[in-house]
Structure 1
Amino acid sequence: MHENANSLVVLDFETTGLSPNQGDRAIEIGAVRIVNGKVTDKFQSLMNPGFLISRFIEQYTGISNQMLAKVGSCGEVMAEFADFLGDDNLLAHNASFDQKFLDAELNNIARKYSGQFICSLLVSRRINTDAPNHKLGTLIRYKNIPSDGAFHRALFDAEMTAKLWLSMLDDIEEKINHEFVPFSLIQKLSKTAKGDVNKLLAKW
């Protein structure tokens, strides 16, 4: 387990809907491993949820029922992902959504993970206070990060989140005048009121 916030696995799910409690399933996972601020590995796979997905989700994600008919089940893919993840910490943009699906899908196959989650959206709200909103696409433009690809595909979104994250870590490093941002500082920052962020960073 790495103690620095620049070594973790960034992940993104595409899903059949918003809630695993309502029977929604993952249909794609994309993940990027960052070690010491560099992308070292990637994981991407479609997965078959065992039922047909809605026309809305097909249009939203660009993932069709025909594509899903040819791929492994959620259980097979998630077992591979659990192996890929190991005990690394995790990051997602709007992490509560991805964490719900990761927990549900791994629970289905009796697998666990030991890393802890942080959310780039929560951190962005405290660091990028002038951004028009904190959607991934908006923040990529706000930070002038080059992007060519389709949002709402899992690997592309994970790669963009990773770039956004490293850019945000640079900003935090400048504020704390330190080359490494501890994972524990990000966990604190995520829960700090916006008005108290500068005070937190100043005393770190």
Structure 2
Amino acid sequence: MINRYVALDIETTGLNPAVDRIIEVGMARVEDGQITQKYSTLVYPGISVSERITELTGIHNEELTGKPRIEDIIGEITEFIGDWPVLGHNVIFDFSFLKKAAVNNGLTINDDGIDTLKLARRILPEVEHKSLSFLCQYFNIDPGRSHRAYDDAVSASLLYAKLEEIKPDDEGFSNTTKLVYTVKKDSPITLPQKRYLAALVEKHNIKLEIPMEEMTKSMASRQIDTIIAQYGK
């Protein structure tokens, strides 16, 4: 088994790193099966959390007010990870959000990964579901608070150990894989975009779901195109 890694999980406002935001980060440094250091924080996303996400995670908008923004803590997150592999259940999802934040702030993040979802698919083909919550139940792992970042990170680490007991010779216990997610640095919304978007909002009496100051250049462009397609210029 790979004897040191950072177990990682994040909670977000949605599934798309291009438009959605991180609301919680949980990490645990694991050495020889023991947690040696933990990291857990809520994150202010700058946009509202939907009722669906609140129902899933239990995280309310009020809890996030006053919490650090991801750009304020991405440096300490990448430092916590260092050169250690990151482990998670469908870890590319968590990695993609963190890599986007890192790139936007001129940082790099280690791309060596261990994916317990891929391991479970190989080792447990007969098991009907491969979600983290289902596999925790399958192996009698106490999931803590399901869909909370730190507890899910720890659950993925415990799952890794359970899978290794079944098939220790699987390559996933001796080699990491490269996590590939291509992302470009975001450009902020431009002043002409702000003026045009503000005019469209006023003309058509529209309430924006994402505050204008939180939009990137590409987000503003898509928002303008959507409004014009639906309401006209």
TM-score (norm 1): 0.80
Residue in 1 that maps onto 2:196: none
Are 1:7 and 2:7 counterparts? Answer: no
Are 1:32 and 2:28 counterparts? Answer: yes
Instruction: Quote how far apart the aligned CAs of 1:148 are.
Output: 5.4
The answer to whether the Cα contact below 8 Å between 2:91 and 2:114 also exists between their aligned partners in 1 is yes
State the alpha-carbon separation in 1 of the partners of residues 20 and 153 from structure 2: 21
Residue in 1 that maps onto 2:158: 163
Residue in 1 that maps onto 2:75: 79
Q: Deviations over 1:5-59 (max 9, x none)?
A: 23111100100111012x1111101111111222211110111111222222122
3-state SS of paired residue (2:84): coil
Residue in 2 that maps onto 1:111: 107
Are 1:144 and 2:140 counterparts? Answer: yes
Q: Deviations over 1:109-138 (max 9, x none)?
A: 111123411211011011122222100011
State the alpha-carbon separation in 1 of the partners of residues 148 and 107 from structure 2: 25
Q: Deviations over 1:70-117 (max 9, x none)?
A: 211111122221111111011110122112111111112111123411
Residue in 1 that maps onto 2:63: 67
Higher RCO structure (Cα 8 Å, ≥6 apart): 1
Q: Deviations over 1:138-163 (max 9, x none)?
A: 11111222x15221110111111111
Task: Flag the 1:170–1:14 CA change in 2: closer, same or farther, 3 A.
Answer: same
Amino acid at match of 2:77: F
3-state SS of paired residue (2:26): strand
Q: How does 1:19-58 map to 2 (within 5 A)?
A: 19-21=16-18, 23-58=19-54
Structure number with bigger Rg: 2
The answer to whether the Cα contact below 8 Å between 2:143 and 2:152 also exists between their aligned partners in 1 is no
State the alpha-carbon separation in 1 of the partners of residues 32 and 175 from structure 2: 12
Q: How does 1:184-203 map to 2 (within 5 A)?
A: 184=176, 187=177
The answer to whether the Cα contact below 8 Å between 2:28 and 2:37 also exists between their aligned partners in 1 is yes
State the alpha-carbon separation in 2 of the partners of residues 154 and 162 from structure 1: 13
Structure 1 unaligned regions, length at least 5: 189-204
TM-score (norm 2): 0.70
| Aligned residue pairs, count | 177
State the alpha-carbon separation in 2 of the partners of residues 42 and 94 from structure 1: 20
3-state SS of paired residue (2:167): helix
Q: Percent same amino acid at aligned positions?
A: 33
